[in-house]
Structures are given as structure tokens and as C-alpha cells.
Amino acid sequence: MSVEPLHKDNLSNMPYYEERVDLAAAFRWTVRLNMHEAVANHFSLSVNDDGTQFLINPNQRHFSLIKASDILLLDANDPKTMERPDAPDETAWGLHGSVHRHCKHAKCVLHVHSIHATVLASLQDSIIKPIDQNCAVFHNRHVVDENYGGLAFEEEGERCAQLFQDPKIQVMVMGNHGVMVIGDNVGEAFNRLYYFERAAETYIKALWTGQPLRVLSDEIAEKTAQEIEDYDDQSGRHFSDLKEILDREEPDYKL
């Protein structure tokens, strides 16, 4: 099914307006937290039941400038997508199109080259050991892509998508590349991205000391991860407050 390019009508007629606002907020906060890569990297959000129609940032637009109306609506099954006059970045199509085509549960997909996650991705062993509460959150919930093959055009994207087949896996450390995080909505995925970067920072800095690590047992790490998953809507409240700050300081993200 082909999706027509968006025409910038008034906001009330804009398809998936609230979803666009959430994505725009995530772009703006990624810049504020210095986890962006200028005009590179991509965030996407599926908007239909089978996950194949999705919103994504426009080609080569700096995260700090992205507004709700800038965001593209694509169909992962449309072979003519790259022929559109507003075609997305080719690697965005290759990577995010593949994930949305094959992983229905990956509603929101955030990919960045944030500093600490990318340092982690550069290590021979890129699994975070559960040395504190934030690191334990990701115990048995992140996977490492060991087979980086260059820019994430469609063939590379198809390969990466296979690593998210297990719904328990929420984060992919893309070896020699960066990180990709998934979630049920933008707020959940962004909260996960934020805390993974924090966990990676703690882990990397602990390694810097050269001292033996105090690693939690598998039992306690899994217990901690499950307790955080069951906690009362922390991600929703976090993201709601982030949007409230933007409403006061950068309200144009909603346009």
C-alpha cells in the first residue's frame, strides 16, 4: 500500500498529529542530551496494526530543527519509496523499513551514535555487565550485532532486523556502529535510550578505573530488571515532563 506524501495543511488535519509531536519531542531532547549525530541517525514510529506504516524524520534534517509537520509517513512494503520527491535517507529506509517490516512488536525504533553506547559498541565484548541498577535494567535484554557490514542500506537493515525477533530484546548494540532501541511508544523507547546511555557511561567509566568490577548475580540482576519493567509508568511520566519543558522553551516542535 502506497502512502501519499504529507501536505502541510492545518494541524488538525495532519495525520497522526500526536504521534508526530512525540517524535519531534524525542528529536529535540536527543540534541539537548548531546546524543545526536547532526543530520544523521533516525527515529521511527509505526502507526498501523501490522507495524508497516511508520513515521520517520526527513532526509538530512538536523534534529534540533525537526517539527511535527516535517516528519514523513512511509510504508515499509512500498518498493517505490525511494522514488518519492521527499524520499527518506537511504540508510533510514534500509534500517527502519526492515525493522518495521519484520518486527511487528517494534513500534518505536530509535537509532543513535551516542558517545558511551558507541564506545561500548567498539569493545571486543559489548555486553554491559550488571554493576549497578541502571546496568541491571538491561540484563538479558540487549543483544550485540557482531557482523557490521557497512552503511545500513537495505541488505544490512534486513540482517539487523533479525536480531530483534525475540520480543524480550529491547536494545541492540550495533557493533562498530552505535545503538538501536525499541519500545511500544515514543516515551517508552526514549526513556530506554536515555537509561541505556547512562548505563553505558557508568560501565565504561568503571572499566576506566582498571579495578575489579562488583558484578551482580544473574538472579539479582534479573530481579532488578523485572522490578523496573513492572514499575508504575516511569517512562510515561518522564516523557510527559520532557514535553512540558519543550512546551515552555521550544513550542515550535509541535508545528
pLDDT at 5 over 60: no
CB 72 within 8 A of CB 58: yes
Residue 2 lies in a domain: no
Residue 5 lies in a domain: no
pLDDT, average across residues 226-244: 92
Residue 1 lies in a domain: no
Q: What is the pLDDT of residue 155?
A: 76
CATH code for the domain in which residue 244 is found = 3.40.225.10
The H or E element containing residue 56 is strand 53-56
pLDDT at 6 over 50: no
CB 30 within 8 A of CB 16: no
pLDDT at 102 over 90: yes
The DSSP-derived string for 64-127 is: GG--GGG-EEEETT-TTGGGSTTPPPHHHHHHHHHHHHH-TT--EEEEE--HHHHHHHTSSS-P
pLDDT, average across residues 21-43: 97
- pLDDT tens readout for residues 85-97: 999 999 999 999 9
pLDDT, average across residues 216-229: 96
pLDDT at 4 over 80: no
- pLDDT tens readout for residues 107-154: 999 999 999 999 999 999 999 999 999 999 999 999 999 999 877 676
To the nearest 10°, report the CA torsion of 161, 166, 168, 170.
-10
Total domains, the chain: 1
- pLDDT band at 210, cuts 50/70/90? very high
Q: DSSP label at 168? A: T
- pLDDT tens readout for residues 46-77: 999 999 999 999 999 999 999 999 999 999 99
CB 180 within 8 A of CB 171: yes
- Between CA 153 and CA 85 the distance in angstroms is 19
Residue 211 lies in a domain: yes
Residue 69 lies in a domain: yes
- pLDDT band at 21, cuts 50/70/90? very high
Residue showing cell 512500498: 78
Residue 232 lies in a domain: yes
The C-alpha cell at 133 is 541498577
Residue 144 lies in a domain: yes
The C-alpha cell at 59 is 532526509
Residue 3 lies in a domain: no
- pLDDT band at 23, cuts 50/70/90? very high
Range of the domain at 161: 11-254
pLDDT at 81 over 80: yes
